[in-house]
Structure 1
C-alpha cells in the first residue's frame, strides 16, 4: 500500500508543489477575506487614480490635440523632452527644485526624528500629551491659511519677527519679497506644519523598545546621551531608512500648493519649481504634451532615486522597501 508521501513522489516534479501552493493561496485569501474586502477601497483608489492615469503619459511623445485624442494626435517622439532641456528657464527652475529639495531633505527630514526623541524623554505624561497635541495641530491647516499667517508674521511693517529683529537694531527684512529668503521660508513653513505629525511613526517605534535595555545601560553607567546613541537611534534606524527612501522618491515633487501660495513677482527667480512651472505652462498656456514630458521626467528621476537609495540601503543597513 502506498502512503501519501509516496503518492506525492509519483507526481511529475513540481506538480504537487504547484497544486499545494495555488490551493494554499486560495485558502489563505478565503481565511482572511474580511481583510481583503477592507483593502478593496485602497486598491481601487490606486488603480483608478494612480495606475490607469499612467496611460496618459503617452501624450508626452505626441503633439496632443484635445479634439483628436490619444489616437489621432501626431506622434513627435522625444521632441518635447528636447524642448524642455533647451528652454531658457528650465535649468533655473530645475536648480530651484533641486536646492529646495536638498534643503528639505537635510533640514526638514531629521526634524521629526529629533522631536520624537525629545518627546520620548518627557516624563510628565500630561505635559507630553499637551505638547504632542500642540505640535500636531498645524498639520491640519491648509497651505492657504499658513501662507496668510506667514504674511502676517513676516511683514516688514507689522510682522512680529521684524519687530524682534528691530530690538537688536536690525532693519526690517522683506522675507516674502526677496529672492534670498524665499527658499528658507518655503522649507521653514513646511517644518512648522509637518514636523509634529511626522513624529507619529517614530514615537510608535520608540514605544516598541524594550525598557530593560535602558535599565541595563544605566546600570553600566551610560548617561541619557549615550543611551540615545547606542539604543534609541539603532532601534529607529529601520523606520528612518524606510521613510528616507519614501522621501527621496518625491525629491523633485516638493508640492504645488505649498509653493504657489508664497510666490509673487519679487521672489519667482528663486522660488519657482517644476510643479508651479507645469501649472503655468500646462494649464494656463495649454501646452499639455510639453508639461506631460516635464512631469514624466520628474517621475523618472524619482524612480531612479528610490531604486538607487533602496540598493545602497539594502547593502549598508539591510533595510529596504523591497
Structure 2
C-alpha cells in the first residue's frame, strides 16, 4: 500500500506539502496541487480518513436511527434527508432498532463513540429514559415523528391530531355512523394516541357519538387483518374504520373481503401515509398523504442549522398533509 512518502517522492515535493494538499489547506500553488493529486492517483494512495478527521475535529458523519426499514415512510424519509446531507458533504450512518426502544439508547451511545457530528432520531415513543439519553448525547439530536419540544428537543412532527379529525369528518360525510379505530401500540403518542384523539373529537363534535373501539395492534398488514376480523365479529353493524397506517388498512381490506364484504360499500375505510400499496390494492385505499421525504429533508436542515449556529430558529416544525379519496371511501 502506498504511503505519504511515496506520494511526496513521486510528486517531487515534501511530505508536509502532500499533507497540506490532502487537508485542503491554504497556501499551496494550483500547479503543486495538481501534481500531488496526480501522484496520489498514480500511487493508488488512500487517505487515512480517521487521522484526517482527528486533525480537523470533523468527521462529516451523521447518525440516523429508524424503528424499521421496511416501511414506505422510512425509505422516503431517509431518501429525503440523504439528499440534503449529500449536498453538504455529510455521510449517513443508518441504525435500525427493529422497534426495540432499548436499542435506541444503545445506538445513541454508539454514534457518540463514533464521533458523529449530529443524530436524527425517528422516534415511535419519547419515554423518560429516552429523553435522558438524548439530553446526555454529546452530538445534537433532532427527533422526527414525536414532539420533543416540551423537553427542549428540536422536532419535526406530522399533524396527527388533525389527520384523525379529518378522517372522522370524511367517514361521517360518507354516511358512516358506526365507526372504530385500528391503531398501534399505546406508547406511540403520535400514531396511536393523537390520531385516535383527533378521530374521537370529530365523532363527538359532529355526531355526538364516540368510536365503537380503539384497537391497539402492530405496524403490519397481518395486524390489520387480525384486528378487522375480531372487530367485525364484535360489531356486526360497523360501517366505517379509520386505520392508523396504510398497511393496517390493507390488512383490514383483506379481512373484509374474506367475510364477503366489499370495502367502500357496506364498510368505508381509510388509512394514513399514502403507501405505494394503497394505489394498487383492490379496491384502492383512501388515505392521507404525508410528505415523508419532505419531513426527512426538514429534519436534516434543522440538524445542519444546529451544527452551524449552535441553535435552531424553530423548536418544532409541523408538516402538512393531503387527503386522497379512492375507492374505499369515495
TM > 0.5? no
Name the TM-score, length of structure 2 as normaliser: 0.24
Q: Give the structure, 1 or 2, with the largest relative contact order (CA under 8 Å, sep 6 or more).
A: 1
Name the TM-score, length of structure 1 as normaliser: 0.24
